Amino acid sequence: MGWNSWDAYGFTIDEAQFRANATVLASLEQFGWRYAVIDEGWYMANPDGKTLADKKYRWNGDGLLIPVDARYPSAAHGAGFRPLADWLHSQGLKFGIHIVRGIPRQVVAQNLPIAGTAFHAADAADLASSCPWDEGNWGVKDNAAGQAYYDAMLKLYAGWGVDFLKVDCISDHPYRPTEIRQIAAAIRKTGRPIVLSLSPGPTHPSHVAEIQQYAQMWRITNDHWDGWKFPDQTADGFPFGLRGDFAMLAQWSPYSGPGSWPDPDMLPEGWLGPHPGWGDVRASRLTADEQRTEFTLWCVTRSPLIVGANLTRLDALTRSLMTNQTLLFVDQNANDSRPVDLSALGPQFENIRVWRATVGKAGDRGYAEYFAFFNLADHATTVRAPWKALGLDNRKHSAENAWDDSTTKDAKEISVNLPAHGSALFHVR
């Protein structure tokens, strides 16, 4: 659970803006919000530059990317992100950064040394594996020099106090298992517990056994943005809309579990500005009902919750989502979650999706059942279904609504009014 700068700031976030957002996040730490992540661009002196040269990457003598002092004043005099991480930790938060896999092209051109070794950048660079959508880096070879480069990188970043590392252009287009293994090995060598998050998607399910060995999060879609559906979506799924997440999360649900979490991407809710990573400055284009649906879907599927809103302009709706203790409890505590098979209930359920999440073991004290209902249709509807058809026994059950705390009377069926693209989540007793 945390916040990432990309949806609101793109490449441009500076230290003052980051601290302002992190201060708001710290005020919500009691609800579990903990990770504050600076996304791509913290090493760019000119993040608005049109070319690689214009962006003016900054690296140290060992060819490792470091923050730009003018944008991150506390990083001056070689301090790196250590002062910023120390401040975050003092607020009860954890610190994350984003990198694109590989080694900067200018570092290879200069053939800088790799710290603590006799290797140089050219020994580690894989010129046949650049990122097709980011011109900044060459890939890293699967050799001793390549491992040494990642070892040096993670030693530096762990020394700063990094707790979360998002690595891009590695889990799909292209899938780079050698670099995943190298980065995971480098993290282990630091002795610091750093969450490894792989991006972008869609990660192919055939890779899951391998990825689960090395990463704690991996993206299952291309970049998810604030729309129900995107008619002009590219062949590889950019931008990815909320409607498509139901199928993707259902496909990946068997692979969710402690230490390995399929990731449907950040939550583009609230205010997306002043420099969103895609599109114009705006309030989220998702309707209020769609934002509730998005947040409910992420929670009932036990997905990572990484908010993209500008927290300094936190609106009432986004705050209500981030502080809904029932949804957060399900997200953080459910030990099983899966879609309910509705095929036997007839064609009237064609646009309905139901997810069931359980906390604890049946018969144990504290065992709890939760059901989320979703309306994928473009019009309001009423869902009526016997509890038995949803997987419960044939007894009467009551259901407490997570949004308004209302409770239904004991009955053998549930009746739910859902707006277009709307949702509801119930604790069923």
Give the Å distances, CA to CA, from 78 to 59, 126, 180, 259, 263.
Answer: 11, 29, 28, 34, 34
The better pLDDT of the pair 404, 147 is held by: 147
Band of pLDDT at residue 173, cut at 50, 70 and 90: confident
| pLDDT tens figures, 5-26 | 999 999 999 999 999 999 999 9
321 with 397, same domain: the answer is no
Q: Is residue 270 pLDDT above 90, yes or no?
A: yes
Specify whether 149 is located in the same domain as 181.
Answer: yes
Note whether 47 and 176 are same-domain residues.
yes
Same domain membership, residue 304 and residue 243:
yes
Same domain membership, residue 373 and residue 319: no
Q: What is the CATH number of the domain that holds 273?
A: 3.20.20.70
pTM over 0.75: yes
Domain shared by 64 and 110, yes or no: yes
Q: Domain boundary at 318, 334, 350, which?
A: 334
pLDDT score at 382: 97
| Mean of pLDDT values over 353-363 | 95
- Cβ–Cβ < 8 Å for 214, 101: no
With a cut of 90, say whether residue 385 has pLDDT above it.
yes
Same domain, 268 and 148: yes
Residues 54 and 149 in one domain: yes
409 and 328 in a single domain? The answer is no
309 with 346, same domain: the answer is no
Mean pLDDT of the chain: 97
Is the same domain home to 29 and 89?
yes
Residues 233-253: tens digit of each pLDDT: 999 999 999 999 999 999 999
Confidence category of residue 370, pLDDT binned at 50, 70, 90: very high
Q: Is the pLDDT of residue 363 over 90?
A: no
Whether residues 248 and 348 share a domain: the answer is no
Closest CA to 171 of 99, 138, 220: 220
pLDDT tens-place string over residues 75-122: 999 999 999 999 999 999 999 999 999 999 999 999 999 999 999 999
Read off the pLDDT of each residue in 148-154 and give the average, rounded to a whole number: 98
Percent share of the chain, pLDDT over 90: 98
Looking at residues 300-321, what average pLDDT do you find? 98
* CATH number, position 372: 2.60.40.1180
pLDDT-based confidence at 212, cuts 50/70/90? very high
Maximum pairwise Cα distance, the chain:
73
Q: Which domain holds residue 412?
A: 338-428
Final residue before a domain boundary, out of 334, 368, 392: 334
- Count the neighbouring beta carbons within 10 Å of the beta carbon of residue 13: 26
User: What pLDDT does 163 receive?
Assistant: 98
How many structural domains compose the chain? 2
Domain boundary among 301, 334, 367: 334
Amino acid at 136: G
Residue 283: Cβ-neighbour burial (10 angstroms; 0-12, 13-18, 19+): middle
